[in-house]
Amino acid sequence: MTIKEALESDGFSEDILKGFFEPFIRGVFLDPDLQTSSRIFNWIFRLFSTGLASLPASGMQAISDQLARKIETGRIRLNTRVVSLEPGRVRLDDGSSVECKMTVVATDPTVAADFSGQPDLTQFNSGTTLYYALKGRPLTEPILVLNGENDGPIKHLCSLTEVAQEYGPRGWSLFSLSTVGEPD
């Protein structure tokens, strides 16, 4: 079932659909027609509604760095191309191979499809994120502002510095604005 079908069958009013769910979903999933599976929406919405939005103070790279610190030195190889996957083995373009109990394929869908021998059926939605630095604090809360009237290209915006002050110098706000599609 699509997100649109699920929300309609749940009996939400037209006002809450148009004023909240549609702009929220369009911005998060880059899905102008709400055709994404309701299962992924239910999972993501649960995360948003039960947790606090946060950003690593040192930027998104801090997440990978934290994970890497927990892995034995020498076990991570960077700038190394994988040429094939076999049960228990990953073959690399330098002729070496790595034995493993499990393999996580973290790549784009086209490459993943090639490795698995499956067709690539991925369809992408496009979007643009713009960042603006503003003097002062136009927003004073860590909130997501939605375009509930769906007029104009911006679907939502937030002040990143209200979530993580380290994202901008004192006295300035860093704003993130998201669009769906490719606006003029």
Q: In what order do the strands lie in the sheet with 97-99?
A: 82-86, 89-92, 97-99
Other CB atoms closer than 10 Å to residue 23's CB: what's the count?
Answer: 21
Instruction: Output the CA torsion sign for 156, 162, 168, 173.
Output: positive
- pLDDT, residue 47, reads 86
Alpha carbon of 93 to those of 86, 107, 108: distances in Å? 14, 16, 18
3-51+125-180 is classed CATH 3.40.1110.10: no
Give residue for tokens 């040429």. Answer: 83
Residue 52 contacts residue 163 (beta carbons within 8 Å): no
pLDDT of residue 53: 66
- CA 131 – CA 125 distance, rounded (Å): 20
Please write the tens of the pLDDT for every residue from 76-108: 888 888 998 888 999 999 999 999 998 888 888
Q: Which residues 6+ apart lie within 8 Å of 12 measured at CB?
A: 21
> For residue 37, is pLDDT > 70?
yes
Query: Residue 67 is inside which H or E element, if any?
Result: helix 61-69
Could you tell me the residue ranges of all domains in the chain? Answer: 3-51+125-180, 61-116
Q: How far apart are CA 100 and CA 87, in angstroms?
A: 8
